[in-house]
A = this chain, B = another copy of it.
Amino acid sequence: MEKMQRTPAQSEDAHYMKMALEQARQAEALGEVPIGALIVLDGRVIASAGNRRETWQDPTAHAELIALREAAKRTGSWRLEGATLYVTLEPCVMCMGGIILARIPRLVYGARDPKMGAVGSIYDFSTDERFNHAVTVTEGVLADECSEMLSVFFRQLRQKKKTAKMQPSD
């Protein structure tokens, strides 16, 4: 039997997802929920970001939204046509809304988010034709690594709370 060969597109997606995972790791080091994002245009990384909600005390500071703002600044245009956004976790309604508004044509994500995901979990905006902008989605790229990083983070958080005898918060 022949060994499965990865197509160039698959290995390219994995390559960029590893970079998004590195952003997630940097976020985690700051005490943030470990989620990272990257925007690639014409084979170049034009923006990368990790979750900064706690550090900046900004409710909108999800990795994807920060990356969208950075990419628009870099290109000088809010229209990010031709760009691919990589993110370790399925985007929420806010972030998927931003991705659509920025006219991002392709989204690649790692793990599913059954509680908040808007690209197949609680909603699927990518197939909603009312938005008048189509986003092609590849999911499950390095899903295990992306998911594991989040599981470890929340396990440790629960452990810390238990140790500190704190009341669980939402």
A122 to chain B, nearest CB (A): 5
- The answer to whether A155 has its CB under 8 Å from any CB of chain B is no
Stretch at the interface among A4-12, A16-24, A51-59, A146-154: A51-59
A115 to chain B, nearest CB (A): 7
B60 touches A101 (CB 8 A): yes
- The answer to whether A2 has its CB under 8 Å from any CB of chain B is no
A150 to chain B, nearest CB (A): 17
Cβ of A86: which chain B residues have Cβ within 8 Å of it? none
Interface size on A, residues (CB 8 A): 41
Pull 15 A–B residue pairs with CB atoms less than 8 Å apart, ordered by A: A54-B78, A56-B78, A57-B73, A57-B77, A58-B78, A59-B72, A59-B80, A59-B98, A59-B101, A60-B69, A93-B97, A93-B118, A94-B98, A116-B131, A123-B123
What does the 1/0 interface line of A95-130 toward B look like (CB < 8 Å)? Answer: 111101111000000000001101000110100101
Identify the closest chain B residue to A62 (Cβ): B101
- The answer to whether A42 has its CB under 8 Å from any CB of chain B is no
A77 to chain B, nearest CB (A): 6
B58 touches A72 (CB 8 A): yes
What does the 1/0 interface line of A33-64 toward B look like (CB < 8 Å)? Answer: 00000000000000000000110111111100
Cβ of A96: which chain B residues have Cβ within 8 Å of it? 93
